[in-house]
Amino acid sequence: MATSSSNSNFRYLIPVLSIAFVCTLFLFSNLDFSSYSISPVSDNSASSPTTTTKAVSSSTPSPIPTSTPAPVILTAVDSIGSRPKETFSDLIPVFDRWDREVVCDRFQAKFKDWKVNASAVQDIDRYDCSELKMSHASVYVKISSWVPDIMEGLYLCRCGLSCLWTRNEALADKADVWLWVTFQLENRTEGGPLNAFYQCEAPRWRPGIEDIFISYHASSEVQSTYAGKFYTMHRNYNVPNYKRDDVLVYWSSSNCHKFRNEIAEKFLSLVPHHSMGKCLNNVGGTDMALTFYPDCQMGDNPVPHWWDHIHCAMSHYKFVLAIENTFTESYVTEKLFYALDVGSVPIYFGAPNVWDLVPPNSIIDASKFNSIEELANYVKAVGEDPVAYAEFHAWHRCGVMGNYAKVRAASLISKLIQRKNLLLLRRSGAGA
């Protein structure tokens, strides 16, 4: 266990290791789940502001409201099915049409008072830079088989701090923090670097000898979300203006776990889809994306792995099926964020508080439907309604984010790409 001296040091070392590795393992890996719950209500009901009116005195002969009730603002998703069914593929005229029929002002007003749990995401600006006791911090990635090489380097961090992130033991000979992403932590010696343990999987559990616990949940000392757009640096992020109008849904899964396959198979049997991964593959193999979409070819990588073009491939579809391996609070992984990044609409099975982590009206939440059949019918209705479909993209066209700005800010990867905010470390007398 850490010594009493280490406990004393910890009082002066308040970290913000804004770490979100976008967990590359998950791209290839162990996603499964054991249960799901779905309930319809229009998807819009999960993201609409609540309206209230004040009570009226029953003794008044002619009741007069003491205040004017907040108006109910209706937009395109509130009238799905009222417009004629249409096929569409080009997004530019679709967005232009939404601009004429709905406009950002109404969308912004609708979600002005949208209720989210602000405490679901940590505030990375909650520390006072005036208390900083050091000018440089060194983080040694102690044991990890999957932290990308691109993260290696020296960065300008918050409060003017310089931060070294390295797997090179010689460069980290004066490390302030050892970062572990395996369970093989070593007991810390007195005066030695702090142990920071990163647990990106659900359910969360602590080894018990760490000084700093990092996970996807805000209750951890440091929260690390999956929302960083890390792969911009070495993947094809080409996003076309066109969406397929013959195949609605994209899905890709590499590990064919029973429960996820059961849900996916039932849903996908009801909608036109392409399954590009090993599970339920219906396109003739796992390397067919470049055959379908030559624009996804990497110019400097003539024979890419399938994950090099996953983002570009899914961007050609109106919808992306995103299923978590575990349905638990705040566990929202790259499966959903990839789809948001490339301009597709996620059909989401997972965290019950997903709306605390994504923009309003940005996803189709499967938990808002009573059955998979109703969910599939809703997806098909949106896919045949260009105005309603455009509204699922209005959040980024109109700047309506909810907690999403904080979610992105809590990702280490987005900070590394921007060359800032790797680490805020306060340590009494260290490196000052």
Tens digits of residue pLDDT in 333-366: 989 999 998 999 999 999 999 999 999 999 999 9
Confidence at residue 309, expressed as pLDDT on a 0 to 100 scale: 81
In a domain, 168, yes or no: yes
pLDDT at 2 over 80: no
In a domain, 203, yes or no: yes
Query: For residues 332 and 358, is the Cβ–Cβ distance under 8 A?
Result: yes
Among 23-32, 115-124, 183-192, 313-322, whose mean pLDDT is lowest? 23-32
Query: For residues 372 and 266, is the Cβ–Cβ distance under 8 A?
Result: yes
In a domain, 19, yes or no: yes
pLDDT band at 412 (very low <50, low <70, confident <90, very high): low
Tell me the pLDDT of the chain averaged across its residues.
78
Quote the CA–CA distance of 5 and 40 in Å, as a whole number: 56
In a domain, 175, yes or no: yes
**Strands 364-365 and 177-180, bridge-based pairing:** unpaired
pLDDT at 89 over 50: yes
> Is residue 190 classed exposed, middle or buried when 0-12, 13-18 and 19+ CB atoms within 10 A define those classes?
exposed
pTM of the shown model: 0.79
pLDDT band at 217 (very low <50, low <70, confident <90, very high): very high
Q: In 302-319, which positions are buried (b, 16+ CB within 10 angstroms) versus exposed (e)?
A: eebebebbbbbbbbbbbb
Percentage of the chain lying above the pLDDT 70 cut:
74
The three-class DSSP label of residue 147 is coil
In a domain, 34, yes or no: no
pLDDT band at 234 (very low <50, low <70, confident <90, very high): low
The mean pLDDT of 73-83, rounded to a whole number, is 95
The parent domain of residue 216 ranges over 4-24+121-228+413-417
In a domain, 70, yes or no: no
Confidence at residue 231, expressed as pLDDT on a 0 to 100 scale: 44
The mean pLDDT of 422-429, rounded to a whole number, is 37
In a domain, 205, yes or no: yes
Percentage of the chain lying above the pLDDT 90 cut:
42
Tokens 């960065």 sit on residue: 155
In a domain, 172, yes or no: yes
Query: For residues 314 and 342, is the Cβ–Cβ distance under 8 A?
Result: yes
Domain count, the chain: 1
pLDDT at 22 over 50: no
